[in-house]
């Protein structure tokens, strides 16, 4: 797919094709594992797993993150031990191992398997609600289609890092969900997903391709703020913070899911085709967001253009608009289109155009024209 075609999937029509981008990411991960893992027996064990198990591991955001860490530190030990645990978990899941010597999480944290659990007990065990899980018994995360909605794994007990953007362990800031909070949060996510699947099938397929795990957290310091986030260091994992709070409605969750899925799509694209050729420039050049007013790096600004374009195109869909009160629809349309109406893209992009591909600039100009042409922008 040429850069000029990157916006096609974000129109949520049949013409959008993103499978090559997804497969390209998996190919790079497999090659990376071969490069950093010297243990040929371990690699063979990975390759010999059932296809579903193999794909769960290589497509996992945690695998991407461990590989990224190995490349930065040039240390394969963390990656090797992680892959070994993932293989053990998948062998147990598929019945190829009757018991584990170490308690493990699966790659996507959809299962926690304690080392005292037998295969026969695993097959028949009754799952517990997230707030009742002790940390020592078997646990199965709730799923939406095949995507785990993670409320309790170590990935949820963390906070964003100022330096990396990753979420770091901090039990003092984040608290566990009560059963009522869990039920509200999961119900909203499921309803949002169902609305998309029923009324925007291409968008649902896109979500299923670029979201591997939905992580949910509660924040005791900011208990009434609903946020979503993702990171280019954990591609495929999206985090919803406080999805249970009173002011959050289904339309907010719809936009949040699409927002972070598009980031995942763009991160995958940029593994081979970075938007900004000079990484230092991407981080050092800042501009004010025409959507939120926040200060954004050049790279974040470019991502924002594609993200808000995709969200605006979804909310311009008649089928989606029919599912929500007009006030909600117009609120999301205003939020997603205002930046394109206000944006003077030439001012920023002209100053750095030598560091960007001409096709990226062409895409942004085209997206702005398309959004400005929507009748909703003039309502």
The confidence score (pLDDT) of residue 263 equals 98
Residues 100 and 84: their CA atoms lie apart, in Å, by: 12
The confidence score (pLDDT) of residue 162 equals 35
The confidence score (pLDDT) of residue 205 equals 95
The confidence score (pLDDT) of residue 124 equals 85
The confidence score (pLDDT) of residue 167 equals 41
Question: In a 10 Å sphere around its CB, with 0-12 CB exposed, 13-18 middle and 19+ buried, how is residue 218 labelled?
Answer: buried
The confidence score (pLDDT) of residue 173 equals 42
The confidence score (pLDDT) of residue 4 equals 66
Closest CA to 261 of 1, 21, 2, 14: 21
Per-residue pLDDT of the chain (379 residues; tens, 9 = 90+): 666 689 999 999 876 778 899 999 999 999 999 999 999 999 999 999 999 999 999 999 999 999 998 888 877 788 999 999 999 999 999 999 888 999 999 999 999 999 999 988 888 887 778 878 877 889 999 999 999 999 988 888 755 443 333 344 343 444 578 889 999 999 999 999 999 999 999 999 999 999 999 999 887 778 899 999 999 999 999 999 999 999 999 999 999 999 999 999 999 999 988 888 777 777 777 888 889 888 888 889 999 999 999 999 999 999 999 999 999 999 999 999 999 988 776 666 777 777 787 788 889 989 999 998 886 655 5
The confidence score (pLDDT) of residue 78 equals 83
């Amino acid at each position: 797919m040429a850069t000029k075609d990157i916006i096609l999937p974000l129109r949520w029509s049949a013409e959008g094709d993103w499978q090559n981008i997804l497969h390209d990411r998996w190919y790079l991960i497999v090659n990376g594992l071969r490069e950093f893992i010297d243990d040929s027996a371990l690699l063979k064990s990975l390759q010999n797993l059932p296809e579903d198990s193999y794909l769960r591991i290589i497509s996992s955001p945690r695998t991407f993150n461990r590989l990224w860490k190995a490349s930065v530190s040039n240390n394969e030990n963390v990656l090797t031990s992680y892959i070994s645990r993932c293989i053990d978990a998948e062998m147990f899941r598929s019945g190829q191992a009757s018991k584990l010597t170490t308690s493990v999480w699966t790659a996507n944290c959809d299962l926690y398997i304690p080392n005292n659990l037998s295969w026969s007990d695993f097959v028949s065990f009754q799952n517990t609600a997230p707030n009742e899980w002790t940390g020592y018994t078997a646990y199965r995360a709730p799923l939406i289609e095949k995507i785990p909605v993670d409320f309790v794994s170590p990935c949820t007990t963390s906070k964003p890092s100022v330096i990396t953007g990753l979420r770091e362990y901090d039990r003092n800031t984040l608290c566990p969900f009560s059963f009522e909070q869990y039920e509200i949060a999961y119900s909203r996510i499921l309803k949002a997903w169902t609305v998309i699947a029923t009324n925007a099938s291409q968008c649902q397929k896109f979500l299923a391709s670029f979201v591997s795990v939905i992580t949910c957290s509660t924040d005791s310091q900011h208990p009434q703020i609903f946020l979503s986030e993702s990171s280019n260091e954990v591609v495929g994992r999206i985090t919803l913070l406080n999805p249970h709070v009173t002011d959050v409605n289904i339309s907010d969750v719809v936009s949040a899911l699409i927002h972070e899925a598009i980031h995942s799509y763009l991160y995958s694209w940029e593994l081979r085709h970075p938007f900004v050729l000079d990484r230092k420039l991407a981080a050092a050049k800042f501009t004010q967001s025409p959507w939120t007013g926040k200060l954004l790096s050049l790279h974040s600004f470019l991502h924002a253009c594609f993200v808000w374009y995709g969200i605006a195109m979804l909310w311009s869909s008649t089928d989606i608009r029919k599912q929500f009160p007009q006030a909600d629809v117009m609120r999301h349309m205003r939020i997603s289109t205002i930046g394109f109406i206000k944006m003077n893209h030439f001012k920023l992009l002209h100053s750095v155009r030598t560091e960007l591909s001409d096709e990226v600039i062409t895409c942004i100009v085209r997206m702005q024209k398309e959004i400005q042409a929507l009748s909703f922008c003039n309502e």
